[in-house]
Structure formats: structure tokens, C-alpha cells
Amino acid sequence: MNICVGHQKGGVGKSTTAINLAIKRASVGKNVLFVDADPQASSVKFFMLREEEQIEPSITCTSLTGKAVYQQIPKLMDKFDDVIIDTGGRDTEGFRASLLVADTLLVPVLPGQFDYWETESLPEILDMARINNPKLRACAFINKADTHPGISMVDETVDAISELEGIELLKSKLYYRLAYRKAAELGLAVHELPGKFKNHKALMEVFNLYQEVFDA
Ligand SMILES: Nc1ncnc2c1ncn2[C@@H]1O[C@H](COP(=O)(O)OP(=O)(O)OP(=O)(O)O)[C@@H](O)[C@H]1O
Ligand SMILES: [Mg+2]
């Protein structure tokens, strides 16, 4: 399966999501190719750290930007079970190219009206991509949901996303938890965090998201 984690907005958790899903997928024995389509290449650095620390499962990570995403991924696909593409925080050529080779676009959305406005242009981008890739599935989910219900803006964001044409809203949410940051710092997925950093809620959230994305 080819999954693109994308959003035209920066800092919504694309790399965090892509990394966690890729490692989870590799941990069940799949041969995963991770494509960092963000010129900032933060995921490349993450996987280099994993390699230096010899953390298993090891995942092949390659950097491809712009048209190369569209040109190279179909050539590489045969060698892997799954391809996970992490895109940059803007509407780039690499993001558009990813949508032509992906089965699923996974969109992290932060709670709050501002983020919703940014997401509003997605249906148009998807319409364009579906001319050449009609089976493209698009799913959004809430990331960094507040663990304190009193100050949560999740419900209004969920309502707003539900109105977007051609985008499915997943039930899974990732809440704002330090475990995600800590794991990234250590070159780990949240389910790999050792003893004192272990966060059962975070690993269940990722597990639920993983199931909704891969078992659809
Ligand atoms: N659910 C979460 N809880 C707490 N921190 C999170 C969560 N998701 C992501 N983060 C943190 O938020 C920051 C931004 O996340 P990330 O780098 O994954 O976003 P991005 O969309 O890939 O950003 P960019 O557009 O710059 O590539 C990181 O420090 C990350 O550790
Ligand atoms: Mg990123």
C-alpha cells in the first residue's frame, strides 16, 4: 500500500505520523520504503539516527523531491510491500506528485478553526489528483487533540472536516502527548519507548490509526 501523509500546513504532525506508521508496519514483518519528500529532510535524519543506533526494524529511507516522487516511486514499488511518503509543509510539487502514486492520503489536522481553513483547499487538490488517480482515498484525523476536554476544539473541527467533499474522517485521534516528542528524539516510534517513557495511551492511539489506515 502507498500512503502519503500530507497537508499544505507545517507542523501538523506529518512526519510524526508517517514515522510511527512506517515503524509499526515494519514491526509486523512488512518491507517498508519510507520516502522523505520534504526538502527539509527531517525524517531522513530520524532514520539515520535509527541506523546509527542499530534499532530494529530497520527501514529503507530515501529522499525524493518534486517530480522525482512521481518518476521514482513506481520503479521502486516492486521491491517493497508498502511505501510511506512524508511530504513538506506546503503545497509543493512533491506533494502533488505523491498524490498521483498514493493509494491513500492521510491528513493530520490540528483542532481549531485556523487549521480547518487551511484544509478547506484540499478537495480541489484531490479533484485534480483523482483525474489521474481516481482510486485515491483521502482520510483526515485529528492530531494533538487536547487531553483536557474543557478546552478542546475537537468537536467543531470534526464537524467542519465532515463537510469537506471526498475526504473521510477517521475515528482515531492522536492526543497531545510528550511521548511523541520523546520518541522522535530517541529515533523511536511511540510503541518502542522504553520503561519510564512508555505511554500506553499514545501507543494505543497509533495502533488504532494504523488499523484504520491499513485495514480499510
Ligand atoms: N500528538 C502529538 N503530541 C505532542 N507532540 C506532537 C504530536 N504530534 C506531533 N508532535 C510534535 O509537533 C512537532 C511537529 O510535528 P511534525 O514534525 O511531525 O510535523 P510536520 O507536519 O511534519 O512538520 P513540517 O511541516 O515542519 O514537516 C514535533 O516537535 C513533534 O514531535
Ligand atoms: Mg515534517
CA 68 – CA 90 distance, rounded (Å) = 17
Q: What is the pLDDT of residue 158?
A: 87
Does 89 contact ligand 1 (Cβ within 6 A)? yes
CA 112 – CA 101 distance, rounded (Å) = 30
When comparing pLDDT for 94 and 120, which is higher? 94
Q: In the numeric block, which cell numbers belong to residue 18?
A: 508517517
Q: In the numeric block, which cell numbers belong to residue 154?
A: 475537537
Mean pLDDT to the nearest integer, 180-187: 98
Does 143 contact ligand 1 (Cβ within 6 A)? yes
Q: In the numeric block, which cell numbers belong to residue 16?
A: 510524526
Question: What band does 75 get if pLDDT is binned at 50, 70 and 90?
Answer: very high
**Helix, strand, or coil (residue 43):** helix
Query: What kind of architecture, by CATH, is found in domain 2-214?
Result: 3-Layer(aba) Sandwich (3.40)
Torsion from C-alpha of 105, 208, 18, 75, nearest 10 degrees: -60
Centre of ligand 1 from the C-alpha of residue 16, in Å: 6
**What does the pLDDT look like over 151-174, one tens digit per residue?**
668 888 888 888 888 999 999 999
Count of helix runs (H) and strand runs (E) in the chain: 9, 7
Does 190 contact ligand 1 (Cβ within 6 A)? no
**Are the C-beta atoms of residues 108 and 209 closer than 8 Å to each other?**
no
**What does the pLDDT look like over 16-67, one tens digit per residue?**
999 999 999 999 999 999 999 999 999 999 999 999 999 999 999 999 999 9
Does 16 contact ligand 1 (Cβ within 6 A)? yes
Q: Where are the domains of the chain?
A: 2-214
Question: What band does 114 get if pLDDT is binned at 50, 70 and 90?
Answer: low
Centre of ligand 2 from the C-alpha of residue 60, in Å: 17
